[in-house]
Amino acid sequence: MSTVAKSQPTRVDQFFTGTEARHDRWRSLLQRARVWESSITQDKSEAETSRATVAKALSDLAQWEDFYAYPGPRLLGLLKDRISSGDVVGSVRLARSISTAILTHSYRANVGDWDNEEDAVGNLANRLPISAEQKVTHRPYFEVLFVSPARQSMWIDLGTELRKLRRPQDKFVYESVFAGSFEDAVLAVILNGSLQAVVIYDDVPFASMHNSPVLREFLTTYLNASGIDPKTLQQGLTLAQALKLIRPELDMYLLSDREVEKAAGSTAAACVRRIFYQVEEPLELHLSILDGISDRYSTPYFDNLQKYAQRPIGTFHALPIARGKSIFKSNWIRDMGDFYGLNLFLAESSATTGGLDSLLEPTGNIKVAQDYAARAFGADHVFFVTNGTSTSNKMVEQALLAPGDIMLVDRNCHKSHHYGAVLSGALPLYVEAYPLTQYSMYGAVPLRTIKKALLDLKAEGKLDRARMVVLTNCTFDGHIYNVERVMEECLAIKPDLIFLWDEAWFGFARWTPFYRRRTAMGAAEILEKKFQDPAYRAAYAEQAKKLGSDLDASDKRLLETRLIPNPDKVRLRVYQTNSTHKSMSCLRQGSMVLVKDQDYHTVEEQFHEAVFTHASTSPNLQIIASIDVARRQMELEGYELVNRAIQLALDLRHEVNTHPLVSKYFRILGADSLIPTEFRNSGFVDYLMPGTNWASVVKALREDEFALDVTRLTLVCGSAGFDGTQFKGLLAADYDIQLNKTSRNSVLLQTNINNTRSDIAHLMKVLVEISQKIEKRLAQGGKAEQETFTARVKSLTHDVPDLPNFSCFHSSFREDASSRTSEGDMRTAFFGAYREEQCEHVKLSSPEIDKRVKTGPELVSANFVIPYPPGFPIMVPGQVINAETIEFMRKLDVKEIHGYNATLGLKLLKASFVETLKKGSTNGKAKKGKTETKHDLAHA
């Protein structure tokens, strides 16, 4: 499956995960050893050639092995000796043993036995996952990197010393990895996902001991792209900072023989957990390392819930399932108990006593759990939400928007935002994403469109009311914004804009250095630093000279210039919502709101009101606990897991698009198909484009307006004669493969931290099987079958309806119909439809519709109409329905259209009602910024 074992060292997919590549290297070594074994009975020179191949494979992989604790120098040396002495049986046995141990991670449970040859070469039983009883004593395993200028022989001694410090009561166990230079330290941190802590001695040299061009290129690119200047890197603190940029969750320790007290007082030391004066206190260091892991491992809410479940508690509150007696003693529903197990019921309560805390007003372990999540995700505050991001979005919008505020929002966004506008009474100003008509979907909203909307608001004197920008990052289909740039340029026009980044799908992105800078929190952190940088201030002064401090240059010029905000005026107000359940190990509906808002104190009260409005007073305790646990997992293994998900996606992309049969009918769309060239300024084409390497990916992620999240795989199935819904059904019914999003001619596959290489292999096998069936059908069906197939493919891939742009709100729902900006009072329209007498239905096929489109009175939608797919509202309350929308609706061949009942027809607001509003409005009843007056009218 994977391509990593092939001799193409610069393939970008090798860089996403050291782990998968490593498995392949060991598998390949083992394969060669087996070939050697089978050649032994043959010609002597052939056997020697095979032996030499194995020796070469070992020396190739050995350069990477320094970055991992297992198998370590002893076993590697043993293997090398066996190969060079011609011990083929011993070599195969040892290679197999090591390779299996690496694959199954069994060495983690057998720490301490590695130097024991018998164990190292032991049978597979030793390598199987540990049994249930063993699990009781299972201690999580991790690795610690020591970066030291000492001789290699001293490392071995240090490793032995540290092992001696282990105590039975330690909750975790670790092994040491050593690096002798700055470069090697960076490589180790990138490649070895098991590393959790780094101990840095001052004065490590810069250059790697590994003189490998691949490693060097890998590193130089990374350092340059991260803006780290290697020349400034001598001191341990600088190295710690550089490593934190890559993996902020790692604990850093500094060992110095300089004035440690001074170092500890410097601002740079903020990234270091503890500074020691040399190794004067090895036990202290050992305990500190374990303590650091303990902090991340601790899940205050989950830990307490487990304790709670074990206590004998009498319940006199309203939750019969708590403690499970009504279930386990039941004659009829005991199977429910058997299925879910006792713990689920023991861990249930409707009380907030017993240390369970209250989600609505957390002061105990929920609060601490939220603070830990804030640390992990780089936020100032975090709110756990147990009703999904649909609720998180509405909370944020209700908290921060008041009636009459203007919210710039992608029309193609999740429906919770449209409802957020209705609830808050804010006026949505829809900004359009670029269409991908060919695939019946939208991309993301170009920055130019957003800037233009802001400049128009400015021209209309309404900029002060523009309060929030809401964008989906990444979109369902994987379009990632250049979050930093969007915020920077928008803040240049309106320095106190609030951003809500809906990262429902992108919560995992924090855990890969590739995507982190493109997340709301990652970008906010970058901007926070930038705004304090004197060089930035100088750049702003330059800009002010050219464009005026009030940006009075022409709109054209402002649209074409990369703007930066005034660092003295700018307020950084960033919110992110994420469906923790969509990309992390969290129960369904677990979601978070992340806050990094320097003016949060001004909205805190209303934020709590919004929580009270939307959060259930009976939140599910298991969901809260699972959010807590999901955070623990990401802080400890998110890096490894996310990189694997990315790797699997790259593998799948590669396999589908290059498979001789499958690629005849199916294709996974690359960045070049989903992101127009104008938004890929770096020249990046796609991850799988020959010649694409790590450097180009990092550059694209820094510079391009949009990037593609590789884990979102749009598989075109129209070319195999299936529409998206049909193909989704086929995969589910015949192959037990589930997915959710479809378009007219594609389905969306996703990889996440749950996927394995076996899943990818299974999917490939299915695609091969389906392709074979098509081939057979076409071969056996004769001309008629072929013509039908071609026509079907053409219809699905070429005869695609244009995606209708948002027309406009009816003038009754606009303060000034002649305004350049199109925001509208959707809330009044929405509630207008609550009175039956104010609405009418017209059948989609009726000639009356065409007549009214031409000659009026205008058709005004009474509600949201959202077809699945594509899943965005093609009508919103108060919107004028135009010819394109009608045409699109008529061509739609999907069954599920929310807000539309085919038997009744389109639900419209009656013209007579809409006119009343207008009159009311011209009578001065609806004043600028006071749209709630209209709302009163709607109920008149």
Name the site residues for ligand PLP (rule: CB under 6 A).
388-390, 393, 414, 416, 472, 476, 502, 504, 579, 591
SS3 assignment, position 151:
coil
Q: How far apart are CA 185 and CA 177, in angstroms?
A: 10
| Closest C-alpha to 727, from 681, 784, 793 | 793
Q: Which is nearer to ligand PLP, 50 or 390 (CB)?
A: 390
Taking the complex as a whole, the smallest distance from the CB of residue 399 to ligand PLP amounts, in Å, to 17
- How far CA 166 is from CA of 253, 467, 937, in Å, comes to 19, 56, 74
Residue 42 near residue 77 (C-beta atoms within 8 A): no
Cα 578 from Cα 520, distance rounded (Å) = 11
Please report which residue ranges of 168-235 form alpha helices under DSSP H.
Answer: 182-191, 213-225
CA atoms of 57 and 25, how far apart (whole Å): 8
Residues 6+ apart with CB under 8 A from 367: 357
Comparing CA positions, the residue from 347, 454, 342 lying closest to residue 407 is: 454
Closest to ligand PLP by CB, 396 or 493? 396
CA-based Rg of the chain, rounded to a whole angstrom? 30
Q: Which of 870, 875, 861 has the alpha carbon at shortest distance from 892?
A: 870
- Least distance CB 412 / ligand PLP (angstroms): 9
Q: How far is the CB of 587 from ligand PLP (least distance, A)?
A: 11
Q: Which is nearer to ligand PLP, 419 or 735 (CB)?
A: 419
Our CB check for ligand PLP shows the closer of 476 and 481 to be 476
CA pair distance 319, 323, nearest whole angstrom = 9
CA atoms of 923 and 297, how far apart (whole Å): 63
**E-only strand ranges, 34-172:** 141-147
- Return the number of the residue (591 or 771) whose C-beta is nearest ligand PLP: 591
Minimum separation from the CB atom of position 450 to ligand PLP (A) = 17
Q: Which is nearer to ligand PLP, 334 or 898 (CB)?
A: 898
Close Cβ partners of 299 (under 8 Å, ≥ 6 residues apart): 369, 372, 625, 628, 629, 631, 632
Task: Compute the least distance from the CB of residue 748 to ligand PLP, in Å.
Answer: 11
Secondary structure, 3-state, 232-274: HCCCHHHHHHHHHHHCCCCEEEEEECCCHHHHHHCHHHHHCCE
| Partner residues linked to 3 by β-bridges | none
Q: Which string of DSSP letters, residue by residue, matches 272-287? A: -SEEEETTS-HHHHHH
State the Cα angle at 687 between 707 and 730, rounded to 5°.
90
Nearer to ligand PLP, 504 or 558 (CB): 504
Identify which of residues 345 and 476 has a Cβ nearer to ligand PLP in the complex.
476
Residue nearest to ligand PLP (CB): 388
Residue closer to ligand PLP, measured from CB, 187 or 483: 483
Q: How far is the CB of 595 from ligand PLP (least distance, A)?
A: 17
Query: Among the residues of 604-756, which ranges form H helices?
Result: 604-614, 621-658, 662-665, 671-674, 694-703, 724-735
72 vs 507, which CB is nearer to ligand PLP? Answer: 507
Q: What is the DSSP string of 863-927?
A: S-BEEETT-S-SB-TTBBP-HHHHHHHHH---SEEET-BTTTBEEEE-HHHHHHHHHHHHTT-SB
Q: Which is nearer to ligand PLP, 100 or 370 (CB)?
A: 370
Beta strands in 323-465 (DSSP E): 381-385, 406-410, 427-431, 435-436, 441-442
Q: Which is nearer to ligand PLP, 221 or 577 (CB)?
A: 577
CA–CA dist 174, 285 (Å, integer): 13
In the complex with ligand PLP, the residue whose CB is nearer, 120 or 584, is 584
Q: How far is the CB of 407 from ligand PLP (least distance, A)?
A: 15
Q: How far is the CB of 62 from ligand PLP (least distance, A)?
A: 46
For ligand PLP, the closer CB: 76 or 753: 753
- What distance in Å separates the CA atoms of residue 236 and residue 450, rounded to the nearest whole number? 43
Q: How many CB atoms lie within 10 A of CB 641?
A: 24
Q: What is the 3-state secondary structure (H, E, C) of 728-763?
A: HHHHHHHHCCCCCCECCCEEEEECCCCCCHHHHHHH
Order of strands across the sheet with 381-385?
Answer: 381-385, 591-597, 573-578, 498-502, 466-472, 406-410, 427-431
Return the number of the residue (225 or 615) whose C-beta is nearest ligand PLP.
615
